[in-house]
Chains A and B, each alone.
Chain A
Amino acid sequence: MIGPRPVLPAWLLIRLSVAVLPADTRDRYREEFRTELLELPWLGQLGQASSVLTGSIALRGALTAHGVPVTERAAPSRKCRFGRHTYVMRQNDDPEMPGRMYAICDRCGEIREPAEDLEFDIEKFNRKSTYFGT
């Protein structure tokens, strides 16, 4: 390694953080994290290196996910875990289905689309999905 190095504990944390990343990305992130640390005082380096270590598993997930690795789902509420969603209607902005309505839970984002041959009734959805109404 050429050039300055962060304080040893911070540097070790960065090495550990990078070790969990996919092999082909390690050099990039090692250099990137090292540069960021060098701009900080030693106490700041420790804080930042700890934060990077904490986020390293999420970073690995983002780097290894296929398809559309966008954002994590919000933790569902207790009601939602028991299937008692509170649906609201949304219009689909997908170009393949422009204007098509679907129901999405206002708490957890669970989506239900109406069957092709059935008229969709949001009131019925909500009556079935909540204990005491909303």
Chain B
Amino acid sequence: MAGRDLVMTGATEAVLGALVARPAGDHHGAGLHSDTGLPTGRIYPVLARLETLQWLDSGWDEPTSSEQGWPRRRWYRLSEQGLAMARGALASARSTSSVRVGRLRPAGEAS
């Protein structure tokens, strides 16, 4: 698992950049769409991967009284370890120009 080196795509870098820019806040799919300019369909796979790596925590917003009966919004937030990993991955990606290389590891695994 740790032996796999994979290329960080532009979508992953953009989403990580938006998440790192406001690490303490809750992010939603629509907000990340606005922040990154990426189509929603490219954002959710990245979020799912980051969540699998445990870089992201996610949960449901509690509906306010005026929102009763409405579907809930899902929030995403960088975990403490995920923030450190994301910053490292972004720094690594930005240090190479033509091909951005980064090995992303699950949170908790030593870097």
Q: Which residues of A contact B (CB under 8 A)?
A: 2-4, 28-29, 31-32, 34-36, 38-40, 48, 50-56, 58-59, 61-63, 65, 67-74, 90, 93-96, 104-109, 111
Known: A35-B72, A55-B44. 18 other contacts (CB 8 A): A2-B69, A31-B74, A32-B73, A36-B29, A38-B70, A59-B48, A62-B48, A62-B52, A68-B1, A70-B8, A70-B103, A71-B6, A71-B9, A71-B12, A71-B49, A94-B2, A107-B98, A108-B99
Q: Which residues of B contact A (CB under 8 A)?
A: 1-2, 4-9, 12, 28-30, 39-46, 48-49, 52-53, 69-74, 98-99, 101-106, 110-111
Residue in A3, A39, A93 whose Cβ sees the most chain B Cβ within 10 Å: A3
Contacts of B103 in A (CB 8 A): 70, 93-94
- Please give the distance in Å from B49's CB to the nearest CB on chain A: 5
Contacts of A4 in B (CB 8 A): 69-70
